[in-house]
Amino acid sequence: MKALSQKRYASLGPDALVALWLGVWWVCNLVQAGLSELANDEAYYHLFAEHLDWGYFDHPPVTALLVRAGEWLFGPTELGVRFFFTVLQPLYLWILWRLVRPADADRRDANLFAMLSAATLLLQLYGFIAVPDGPLLFSAALFLFAFDRFAERRPLAWLWLGAAMALMAYSKYHGALVVLFALAANPRLLRRPGLYGAGAVALLLLVPHFLWQYRHDWASFAYHLAGRNSVFKPSYVSDYLANMLVVFNPFFVPLYVKAWRDTKPQRAVERALKLLPPAFIGFFLLSSLRGYVQPQWVIVAVFGMLWALFAYARRHTRTRRYLMRAGGVTLGLLALVRIEMICNPIGLRFEVFDNAATYGRIAEIADGRPVVFRGSYAVAAKYIFYTGGEAYCQPDIRYRTHHWQFRDDDDRFAGRETLVECLPAEAPEGQTVELANGRSFSWLVAPEFRPVRRVEIACEGLPAEVRPGEELVLDLRLTNPYDREIGTDDGLELAMIWKHGRFRVEEFGAELLDGGEGLTIPARGETACTVRLRVPEQLAGETFDAGFALRRPGYVHWFNGKPQHVKVTER
């Protein structure tokens, strides 16, 4: 039997050998997907999949669709959430192999390609977790395949090119960079009428997503273009550069650089592949000047790196030998990491461990009552996934908003006894517990929960530029969408919020004029008031998003209504 297996293995050609190794890798990913607990973002995307739509606050819809399809097959389990993401990886690596495969490829080339792919850390992690990067890689591979055919003037290639561009956009917005960089590497293709036909096809296919964005005030675009901005920190740049040395495999990085310099592209798709690594890495290096950059954002650069290193190493025996040995060492280390992710024998505290125990403990405390979590979008999603309980995540002005703002869970809790997560200092004695994941959970009990999140506060008279110490008198109109009256006698306070970047927030109580001490908004009605406040000195020299909120002690809040950009001049 062993001899027969060896004979069959030895008879495999390069294509069959690549397919075999991709199949082995897929089985490993299936096991990992089924036995590892969900990461934070995966639970969040499971939440997306509960209500399929043409868009979501953070991302386009393909991720949610794949999660929903997997759960249809395997139920709301870790494997169900991740199944189709494991399927995508062998598909896009096979497409890449067909793009970079030389005409005289042999078995050694097949083994080299498989080893380089498997030893790339980004591809190992994003081969089984349910995040948008897997669909992006698959759709980018399809785009590059169609791009190659388009450059060769194949019939109807422009049509498939347009469809691939639309699929990239539906997968992750970074797909736009793939198109731009591919064309930048091949500017002559801009003269081809078929390219504009492809663009028209892509735009036509994206109409439903644009309509969703329009109905939701272009929330995704506003978030990705400006909502991630933060006050510059040098660590953003240094962390990004350090991550780049690690995620592509530090054993390979020097050779990536040498291979990239020495490998000369011959085809349009190869010119695109050569530009992708420096273009992606450079683009996000610049992005690190305005906020933290997650290392996986450059993941499409992997295609260009694999192309260059594969083309170089197959021509240099010593380099090939080193890469196969270093890749083997990497795979051994990665096997230990995968075991740790499943069993956690060394007892790490991380987001893929102890979820069932952690959220089960909160569910015991809730005892059937809904829970309103503060800030982190993933915690409430994990609570729902691992306990089946009711939960909502209130967007936090000191963190950021997220897709929870488009859900009505908190409305359904109205009038019910509800647990509201708070800071430990705000919790009554005995209402803070330590959880299995190493964190604590503190809560208040709202005997009759009264949400105010959807109250709209429109402000008139706020200048685009103000001076420190200037007195502002502003007219507000407050609209109440709820079936109950809302008033400041219910423990609410009207406050003005000044938010700069993601993390700097200044809040100040607003003085009501018109001779009134309180404020009441009738059910399904509106009211008007005038407030007076002085621009604080500590705001000088910055530009803020300024607006108003109804806040309650112990609860987190976001802007009630749309904030306005206001520049505070120097003193």
* pLDDT score of 41: 94
* pLDDT score of 514: 67
* pLDDT score of 203: 97
Q: Is the pLDDT of residue 230 over 80?
A: no
Q: Which of 435, 428, 424 is nearest to 383 (CA)?
A: 435
For 167-178, the pLDDT digits (tens) are 999 999 999 999
For residue 450, with 0-12 CB atoms within 10 Å meaning exposed, 13-18 middle and 19 or more buried, which class applies? Answer: middle
Contact, 496 vs 507, CB < 8 A? yes
Contact, 81 vs 71, CB < 8 A? yes
Contact, 167 vs 178, CB < 8 A? no
Section 411-435 average pLDDT:
93
Section 126-155 average pLDDT:
96
For 435-484, the pLDDT digits (tens) are 999 999 999 999 999 999 999 999 988 999 999 999 999 999 999 999 99
Q: Is the pLDDT of residue 515 over 60?
A: no
Q: Is the pLDDT of residue 5 over 70?
A: no
Section 236-258 average pLDDT:
93
* pLDDT score of 136: 97
* pLDDT score of 4: 65
Contact, 290 vs 229, CB < 8 A? yes
Q: Is the dihedral of CA 175, 178, 181, 182 positive or negative?
A: negative
The domains of the chain, with CATH numbers, are: 13-129 (no CATH), 355-446 (no CATH), 456-568 (2.60.40)
For 183-223, the pLDDT digits (tens) are 999 999 999 999 999 999 999 999 999 999 999 999 898 88
* pLDDT score of 517: 66
* pLDDT score of 259: 96
* pLDDT score of 169: 97
Q: Which of 276, 271, 317, 332 is nearest to 299 (CA)?
A: 276
C-alpha distances out from residue 375 to 99, 104, 212, 244, Å? 44, 56, 25, 29
Of 1-15, 318-332, 361-375, the one with minimum mean pLDDT is 1-15
More confident residue, 503 or 365: 365
For residue 499, list its beta bridge partners: 505, 545
Q: Is the pLDDT of residue 377 over 90?
A: no
Q: Is the pLDDT of residue 25 over 60?
A: yes
For 258-308, the pLDDT digits (tens) are 999 999 999 999 999 999 999 999 999 999 988 889 999 999 999 999 999
Enumerate residues 6+ apart whose C-beta is below 8 A from 80: 67, 70, 71, 72, 73, 74
* pLDDT score of 516: 58
Section 33-56 average pLDDT:
95
Q: Which of 421, 363, 368, 365 is nearest to 392 (CA)?
A: 421
* pLDDT score of 390: 95
Alpha helices in 101-156 (DSSP H): 107-118, 121-125, 133-151
What is the rounded distance in angstroms from the CA atom of residue 168 to the CA atom of residue 135? 8
DSSP string of 168-211?
Answer: HHHH-TTHHHHHHHHHHH-GGGGG-HHHHHHHHHHHHHTHHHHH
